[in-house]
Structure 1
Amino acid sequence: MNQDEYFSVHAGLTINVERLADGESLPDESAFLLEIPPLFRVASECSGFEEGIEQSLGKLAQKDNQLLLDYLKAQNNKINLLLSFVLSQQDNPALRYTTETFGASQLTFTATQPFQVGRYTRVKLFLDKPSAAVYCYAEVTDCREKGDAFEITLKYIRLQEDDQDLLIRAALYVQQKLLRQRAQQRTENQ
């Protein structure tokens, strides 16, 4: 699938965006993989495990093992809370922004200073559902004035395939949540 084919959702994720310094170049694919902080690797792997485990838990639910299922879900929630806390320690307040939109190919956010189109950035995205963080590089593809600020669009340039899958799952989670809220509002209005 072409990166431009992924949809974006309106949601506020915490991100860190660091502009590459003058003379600093985009790493090649192998250098990028070596550069990814270990904690981001662990978070990505844990999210991958969780997806497989959810299918197994679905089978347990069919076999009427509700107590075991509840226990396993509670343990999973504890691990996710701990993982979220540890990942939050990687958030640098000096580089922190909040997304306007995000998806598996790009994101937008608002900044008080303009970003130069065509320049590269190092990006950390902190996801709530699934609990994970993504480390990648992106290119500034658009910078538009928006009132007293600037709306910046970043397109991912160096992104692991597993992390792209995480972003797809996170966007789908947000989309499903919005659809449930709309359905509930319709039900309440009738």
Structure 2
Amino acid sequence: MFPESSGYFSVPHPFDAYISLWPEDQALPDEDQLQSMKSKGMQLMSEVKALEGDCLIHLRQLGDDGRAIVEYLKLQSRKVDLVLQHLLEQEARDGQHCIGLQFGGSGVRLQSEQALPRNAQVKLLLFVREEILSVLCLARVSDCREDPDNPERYLLDLEYSVITEAEVEQLVKASLVVQQKQLKQRKSSR
């Protein structure tokens, strides 16, 4: 688990991640520089997510009258998100592919073929397919240990170091949605 001081909980859920070590002699980028490092597809996805989030907040204030409109716009938004996700999946990925095990608003846990030194900075690209979420950020390795279930792999805990507020918000929302789905599944399987 991540430290309690992180401020956000994390949820176990599989996802894809790509990591590459950030050069020690290179300063960490600021949010604007991080934004310019994103592919066109990721930039589009970020803009669409921000716009739809703002729009849905305003429409929900309409109450019962706006419910049908909100549902219709959610459907339209989902279609746009699926097309953008398909485009993102076609883009080349740099870095080592890792299996995502857990994510939240403060960091992620990955399973990796490679051990990484604690406190190393990495460029992290993550994709939570079910929630149509893609994030590019920098993260610090807070822990690295052998995976007890698979001794040929390592468990990496990463805490975000450079990430936009909008993407933290998206990660938090996605983790809440995933947790809700998991609770419903548990309840129905009883």
1:15-164 alignment runs, 5 A limit: 15-21=17-23, 23-55=25-57, 62-63=64-65, 72-90=73-91, 92=93, 95-146=96-147, 147-164=151-168
1:32: Cα distance to partner?
3.0
Amino acid at match of 2:129: D
Corresponding residue number in structure 2 for 1:184: 188
| 8 Å CA contact 1:103, 1:167 repeated in 2 | yes
RMSD: 2.8
Amino acid at match of 1:112: E
The secondary structure found in structure 2 opposite 1:12 is strand
Q: Deviations over 1:138-164 (max 9, x none)?
A: 111111012221111111000000000
Higher alpha-carbon deviation: 47-56 or 171-180? 47-56
- The CA distance in 1 between the partners of 2:113 and 2:81, in whole Å, is 33
The secondary structure found in structure 2 opposite 1:16 is strand
Q: Which structure has the greater CA radius of gyration?
A: 1
Aligned-residue identity in percent: 27
| 8 Å CA contact 2:17, 2:97 repeated in 1 | yes
TM-score of the two chains, using structure 1 as the length reference: 0.81
- The CA distance in 2 between the partners of 1:35 and 1:29, in whole Å, is 10
User: For structure 1, which runs of at least 5 residues remain unmatched after alignment?
Assistant: none
Amino acid at match of 1:50: E
- The CA distance in 2 between the partners of 1:65 and 1:30, in whole Å, is 36
- The CA distance in 2 between the partners of 1:143 and 1:126, in whole Å, is 21
The count of residues paired between Structure 1 and Structure 2 equals 184
1:110: Cα distance to partner?
1.0
